């Protein structure tokens, strides 16, 4: 469907063409009609004088430009008869004598094009109908842009259907992809630009049925320790979430450089507990808590990646990441907010030891180690005031793991 702005612009150009073509009152002078119009008219057979290289005057036949057709030409009747030359790029020059009665009997001349058909057509459209040519160029240009955009959209749709990937320049919804940031078992994260040019993060997820009220709950999350989820959508069966762009390092990257001390780790875990208490109070279970989903920005911890989060009222049996997933989910359960605290305890161990709590040669072996329900052995002595709470969060029985609510469990840590 043609946009209203294109229609209005087209009407404006048609109106301008009509005003341009409106008959004008002709003033006195010689008028010569040529096809096409706009020829440069030169008066020949006039004596010109010039100084030569030797310093002497030289006489020769030159020309005086009189104007352009149809005129009026800067020529008086008493200056006739005269030889006039008509020149126009793309056409053969034409010379024609004009008698004394030329003012009373206007002449019509047709120039011979150097390239038949094409040159006359270009002049006919571009010079005799300038606004119509602008209108034609406008429609052709916008049409070509639309075709190019539609071709890129089809390529994006094909990639989404076949490999569920995007490349730089692709559009998904109103967002333009800039680069890929990372891949995980549950999807791919891209940096994208909004229509206003703001950088954002977009996660393309595996197909999963999501109730609209659940997604709206994610969009309503507003907490300093929780990433702001701004938009969501679906393209070719692929669900995506759009989040604010957070500059910083993940806790996995920070710990890879240097292990934190007690005070630093206490601060990080306190902020994580605040984030968990908040989202659980909104009936949201994160479902994929791990160090690479915890970002530090100016000392503030931000809980990222709600790609497989679900409502506590509509739990889904999604496994999560081996090494951090709660035992009840390994055995086929859907899990609830208490599962997030088990994952938080695994993150706690990683941040303190600098290695995962459970390490198998394969993901299946890692899950088998977790399912045994034994505490992982650490090499760095854990403070006593931590150990009792951490070991309780690691309990394989959710009923023995936490306080009756997430808010009370967070207060226990503080």
**What are 54-77's pLDDT values in tens digits?**
555 544 456 788 888 887 888 887
Give me 382's structure tokens.
């854990």
Task: For 78, list phi and psi in degrees, rounded to 5.
Answer: -70, -15
CA Rg value for the chain: 40
Class of domain 248-413: mainly alpha
Angle at 398 between CA 227 and CA 315, to 5 degrees: 55
| Annotated domain spans of the chain | 83-140, 159-245, 248-413
Give me 228's structure tokens.
């702001």
- Among 253, 398, 290, 274, smallest CA distance to 336 is for 398
Point out the residues that are catalytic.
288
- pLDDT band for 373, please (50, 70, 90 cuts): confident
Reply yes or no on whether the pLDDT at 274 is more than 50. Answer: yes
Q: Give me the helix-helix angle, 262-281 and 337-353, nearest 10°.
A: 170
Say how many C-beta atoms besides its own lie within 10 A of residue 322's C-beta. Answer: 22
Q: Is 315 in contact with 308 (CB distance < 8 Å)? A: no
Angle at 316 between CA 312 and CA 319, to 5 degrees: 115
Q: Collapsing DSSP states into helix, strand and coil, what is residue 80?
A: coil
| 2-35 pLDDT tens trace | 456 666 666 665 555 455 545 455 566 788 888 8
CA atoms within 13 A on the CB side of 184: 21
- pLDDT band for 265, please (50, 70, 90 cuts): very high
CA–CA distance, 135 with 223 (Å, rounded to integer)? 52
- Determine which of 47-61, 94-108, 277-291 has the lowest per-residue pLDDT on average: 47-61
Give me 16's structure tokens.
């301008």
Specify the CATH number for 159-245; select among 3.40.50.970, 3.40.50.300, 3.30.200.20, 3.40.50.2300: 3.30.200.20
């Amino acid at each position: 469907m043609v946009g209203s702005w294109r229609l209005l612009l087209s009407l404006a150009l048609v109106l301008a063409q009509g005003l341009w073509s409106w008959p004008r009152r002709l003033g006195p002078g010689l008028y010569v009609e040529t096809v096409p119009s706009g020829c440069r008219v030169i008066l020949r057979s006039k004596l010109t004088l010039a100084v030569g290289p030797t310093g002497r005057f030289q006489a020769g036949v030159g020309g005086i430009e009189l104007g352009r057709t149809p005129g009026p030409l800067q020529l008086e009747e008493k200056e006739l008869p005269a030889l006039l030359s008509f020149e126009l790029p793309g056409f053969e020059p034409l010379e024609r004598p004009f008698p004394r009665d030329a003012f009373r009997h206007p002449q019509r001349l047709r120039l011979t094009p150097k390239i038949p058909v094409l040159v006359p057509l270009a002049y006919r459209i571009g010079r005799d109908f300038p606004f119509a040519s602008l209108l034609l160029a406008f429609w052709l240009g916008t049409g070509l842009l639309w075709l190019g955009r539609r071709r890129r959209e089809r390529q994006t749709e094909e990639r989404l259907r076949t490999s569920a990937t995007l490349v730089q320049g692709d559009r998904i919804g109103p967002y333009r992809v800039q680069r890929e940031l990372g891949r995980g078992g549950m999807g791919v994260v891209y940096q994208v630009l909004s229509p206003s040019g703001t950088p954002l993060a977009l996660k393309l997820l595996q197909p999963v049925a999501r109730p609209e009220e659940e997604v709206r709950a994610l969009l309503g999350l507003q907490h300093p320790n929780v990433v702001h989820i701004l938009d969501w959508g679906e393209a070719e069966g692929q669900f995506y979430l759009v989040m604010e762009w957070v500059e910083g390092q993940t806790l996995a990257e920070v710990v890879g450089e240097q292990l934190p001390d007690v005070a630093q780790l206490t601060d990080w875990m306190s902020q994580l507990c605040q984030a968990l208490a908040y989202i659980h109070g909104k009936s949201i279970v994160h479902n994929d808590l791990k160090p690479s989903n915890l970002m530090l920005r100016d000392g503030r911890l931000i809980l990222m990646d709600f790609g497989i989060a679900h409502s506590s009222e509509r739990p889904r049996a999604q496994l999560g990441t081996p090494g951090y997933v709660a035992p009840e989910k390994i055995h086929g359960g859907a899990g609830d907010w208490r599962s997030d605290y088990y994952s938080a305890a695994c993150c706690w161990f990683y941040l303190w030891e600098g290695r995962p709590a459970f390490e198998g040669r394969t993901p299946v072996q890692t899950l088998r180690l977790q399912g045994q329900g034994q505490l992982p052995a650490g090499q760095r002595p854990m403070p006593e005031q931590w150990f009792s709470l951490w070991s309780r969060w690691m309990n394989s029985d959710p009923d023995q793991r936490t306080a009756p609510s997430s808010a009370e469990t967070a207060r226990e840590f503080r």
